[in-house]
Amino acid sequence: MKHQPPPPTRRWGVVAAVVALVLLACLQIQYQHLKVDLGKAGFASATQENNAIPSRNRIRWGAARIRKAATGADSLPRGIVQRHSDMSLRPLWEDDAASTHKNKNGDHSALLAMAVGISQIKNVDTMARKFLKDNYAVMLFHYDGNVDGWRHLEWSDKAIHILAHNQTKWWFAKRFLHPDVMAIYDFIFLWDEDLGVENFNPRRYLDIMVSEGLEITQPALDPDLSTDIHHRITIRNKMTKVHRRIYDNRPSMNCSDESKGPPCTGWVEGMAPVFSHAAWKCVWHLIQNDLIHGWGLDMKLGYCAQGDRTEKVGVIDSEYVVHQGIPSLGGPSLSSKTPRRSLDLRTHIRRQSSAELEKFKERWNRAVREDEGWRDPFDS
């Protein structure tokens, strides 16, 4: 008996089922692609937007969304996004005298940032004048709440003032010196308020940093006038312009030409560090959000030196300062006659600083263990 072909209605039903399956598969693939491209932006709204865009532009639109999503500017046209800022004060009307924090020779741009209290106004006044003379920017972090006490200084309106009670310079730096805001500055001075700068010239200092190829530095300390010297590497060498290491035969130090790291070489102290723009982009990430005293940072700064820390980190001798050793937060120096309450505050602060140091060490060690792709560039 001759086989009869299936009726036309049945054939069309099979074809429709196949087409439906193909269409469903295509929709599933498109859905997965949209999930990858748009992340968690919301599939429903993204689908509506996509349907409103001509098909020839959809691929380009998707790539643009992915490119801008990392900056949070995915809903803006690319040309309107300004990635960087600065600390320049903007006049409310046209002012030809408005400056851009370049020094008079146009060589470098720099920012001096300090945590200050009104009791050190005379010393800070001297420091600020040195930097403003070369048209560098000055930013004051007021930890004692007294901003009005600085208004009578002729340069006060040229500085940036930020107030937060009883916070350290590291707390301020993490919140107000983001690398994108610091983009126009070639160098960042993150200093304490108790430095004597009679023998210091910021422009000459930066010229030395550039000529020596240094990324992280500090001025040397005058050993005759400084009252608070903790590390031998910071002491001024009168015979050199810059030194990058010390030699010490004591068993506790054992610093020699073979030494490869802190505190023998590749190291500066936290009281008066100066960072290049490239180094600061790294250091800012190294500063912990909650460990506000910054203990332990100095031992790791060399990882941000943009190369060999034994060459890129150094102490500049020819432009030196005096460390007066005046504790700020918690009261005056312990060497002076102070109320019992001030002594107690200093004790509590040192205890917290020591505890934070241990936390920082633990975090570093844990991060090294957990990041399998990271290799210590200084691990010999």
Residue 200: partners with Cβ closer than 8 Å, 6 or more residues away: 130, 219, 319, 320, 321
In one-letter notation, the amino acid at residue 93 is W
Q: Are 132 and 114 in contact (CB under 8 A)?
A: no
Structure tokens belonging to residue 185: 């500055």
**pLDDT above 50 (res 183):** yes
Quick one: how many helices (H) and strands (E) in the chain? Answer: 9, 9
**pLDDT above 90 (res 57):** no
Average pLDDT value for the chain:
83
Instruction: Measure the CA–CA gap between 159 and 369, rounded to whole angstroms.
Output: 43
| Torsion angle of the four alpha carbons 187, 190, 194, 195, in this order, in degrees rounded to the nearest 10 | -20
H helical segments located in 245-336:
277-286, 309-312
Q: Which of 34-38, 89-93, 225-229, 343-347 is predicted least confidently? A: 34-38
**pLDDT above 50 (res 63):** no
Q: Please report the pLDDT score of residue 48 as a whole number.
A: 47
Maximum pairwise Cα distance, the chain: 122
CA end-to-end span of the chain: 89
Q: Are 104 and 110 in contact (CB under 8 A)?
A: no
Query: Which of the four pLDDT bands, split at 50, 70 and 90, describes residue 58?
Result: very low
**pLDDT above 50 (res 40):** no
Q: Coil, helix or strand for 65? A: helix
Give the domain 110-329 fold.
Spore Coat Polysaccharide Biosynthesis Protein SpsA; Chain A (3.90.550)
Residue 294's nearest CA partner among 279, 273, 314 is 273
Mean pLDDT value of segment 138-159: 96
**pLDDT above 80 (res 234):** yes
In sequence order, what are the beta bridge partners of 116?
A: 142
Residue 12: partners with Cβ closer than 8 Å, 6 or more residues away: none
CA atoms within 13 A on the CB side of 339: 5
Query: Which of the four pLDDT bands, split at 50, 70 and 90, describes residue 70?
Result: low
pLDDT single digits (tens) 71-105: 677 788 888 888 777 777 777 877 655 544 444 55
Q: Please report the pLDDT score of residue 41 as a whole number.
A: 45
Q: Are 298 and 262 in contact (CB under 8 A)?
A: yes
Residue 335: partners with Cβ closer than 8 Å, 6 or more residues away: 227, 325
Bigger pLDDT: 60 or 16?
Answer: 16
Q: Are 50 and 37 in contact (CB under 8 A)?
A: no
Q: Please report the pLDDT score of residue 349 as a whole number.
A: 85
pTM: 0.76
- Percentage with pLDDT > 70 across the chain: 75
Instruction: Measure the CA–CA gap between 353 and 351, rounded to whole angstroms.
Output: 5
Per-domain boundaries in the chain: 110-329
Bigger pLDDT: 181 or 45?
Answer: 181
